[in-house]
Amino acid sequence: MKKILLPVIFILLVVFTLSFAQERGVKKKRPLPQDYGKIVLNNFSEKNRVAPVVFDHWLHRSKFTCRLCHTDLGFEMKTGATGIKADDNINGYYCGTCHNGKRVFDNKAVFRACDKGKRDEVCDRCHSFGKDVKRENNFSEFAAKMPKERLGNGIDWELAEKDNLIKLIDFLEGISVSKKTMPVQKDFTLEPKVAGLPEIVFSHQKHTVWNGCEVCHPDIFTGVKKGATKYSMIEIFDGKFCGVCHGKVAFPTMDCQRCHVKPVS
Ligand code: HEC
Ligand code: HEC
Ligand code: HEC
Ligand code: HEC
Ligand code: HEC
Ligand code: HEC
């Protein structure tokens, strides 16, 4: 009897949660794969008569870890929250850490960011919102070489990293401080509050490659004791806890079964 009931309860819960999510407007029009993780920055641009800035996560995360940008370079994980200014970039902070016309990746110096005096076509590469600027890095060409996933960018980033199809830079000379790496914590399962729901496997091992420790502790998960932070699926849909990343840059929350899996014992 119990064996039949559990799956039924799970399906009911899924339907309930999905309709709840829809009601809260979580189920927006799904972005195109290349637009997943795209952000537009406009704290100061239009006010200063330049087009807003478009930043693609897919391109940058194919080269760098989340940790490098969100810890070492100090970018907030919330659009607009950092308040990047042209002067910061000119002085070698934020985008200007790499985009200074000097720093070399893949044997190529990266084009420079903002400039006080002149305005030229280089400006358009970032200040591109609403303009017809041709991207030099082509998403389709890149994605064709990557393992596939259903949602988000349509790319299985986890597998791409594991199979060495992308090599992530986690350290910038002169910026990152080299420190002893902390021992990676054990993987564990989280038990949902509702009985009978499949457990959630959380892999420290897999997350640490991208995020180090500091991206999650203590800002997103204060408790470094399993079970210390209490959260629900509704809060995750709302962009808190796991939802800080999942649904915006990491695979979306609509991919239920990637988190709600049975653990392999
Ligand atoms: C090259 C730097 C860079 C890398 C690499 C990077 N990010 Fe970001 N990320 C940014 C910037 C810049 C912003 C916007 C910050 C602001 O506007 O204040 C941002 C914003 C975000 C946001 C908020 C998005 C929103 O809709 O508000 C999330 C979530 C995020 N990043 C997660 C990640 C994750 C997860 C990774 C790794 C898979 C990652 N980022 C890799 C630079 C980066
Ligand atoms: C950690 C280094 C790093 C940081 C920080 C960084 N970028 Fe980049 N960015 C790169 C590299 C490397 C490339 C690829 C080089 C190229 O296309 O010439 C790139 C390419 C780009 C492109 C080119 C897109 C195309 O295909 O034409 C844009 C636009 C861009 N970055 C915007 C930004 C913005 C905006 C910021 C800050 C919010 C930023 N980047 C921060 C390293 C970085
Ligand atoms: C690598 C990306 C990048 C490039 C290239 C770039 N900018 Fe910016 N710029 C930014 C970002 C990010 C901001 C902050 C956007 C915002 O929130 O409005 C910004 C803001 C500005 C602002 C707003 C005023 C201020 O004080 O912040 C001006 C003006 C500006 N840039 C001028 C330029 C000019 C001129 C060029 C070309 C010489 C240029 N930028 C090239 C990334 C770039
Ligand atoms: C993607 C986010 C994320 C990253 C990255 C991360 N953690 Fe965690 N960590 C968690 C979550 C979620 C929990 C469980 C917290 C809870 O349930 O309240 C946790 C729990 C822990 C615990 C308690 C484990 C237990 O069994 O009680 C320790 C210790 C810990 N983390 C250390 C680390 C260290 C060290 C790193 C870097 C090597 C790291 N974490 C990276 C999300 C993360
Ligand atoms: C700081 C950002 C961040 C937070 C917070 C976060 N994740 Fe992730 N997670 C990632 C990134 C980046 C990946 C790599 C895959 C991708 O980007 O789609 C990932 C991958 C995963 C995977 C796939 C691993 C595999 O086996 O392929 C699972 C499952 C997962 N996360 C569950 C969780 C759960 C559960 C939580 C909350 C307890 C959580 N994540 C919190 C960033 C985050
Ligand atoms: C990024 C990982 C992740 C994804 C994707 C995800 N969940 Fe969850 N879910 C969690 C975590 C973590 C919890 C446990 C929260 C707790 O109880 O501590 C949870 C709990 C739940 C619960 C138990 C009730 C509650 O609020 O705690 C339900 C029901 C649920 N999820 C349904 C879904 C459905 C339906 C989807 C797909 C639309 C989904 N989840 C996608 C991570 C995820």
Most informative mutation of 69, 105, 129 for ligand 1 (most atoms within 8 A of CB) = 69
Report how far apart, in Å, the C-alpha atoms of 55 and of each of 35, 125, 242 are.
10, 10, 22
Q: Structure tokens of 207?
A: 């997350």
**pLDDT given for residue 142 in this prediction:** 98
**pLDDT given for residue 233 in this prediction:** 92
**pLDDT given for residue 19 in this prediction:** 52
Residue tagged 């420290």 (tokens): 204
**pLDDT given for residue 1 in this prediction:** 45
**Which residues of the chain fall below pLDDT 70?**
1-28, 179-180, 224, 262-265
176 alpha carbon, distance to own chain's centre: 20
**pLDDT given for residue 138 in this prediction:** 96
Ligand 3 — pocket residues by CB below 6 A?
41-45, 48, 50, 53, 84-87, 89, 95, 99, 113-115, 119-120, 122-123, 125-127
**pLDDT given for residue 11 in this prediction:** 56
Give the model confidence (pLDDT) of 127-175 as tens digits.
999 999 999 999 999 999 999 999 999 999 999 999 999 999 999 998 9
**pLDDT given for residue 34 in this prediction:** 96
**pLDDT given for residue 189 in this prediction:** 84
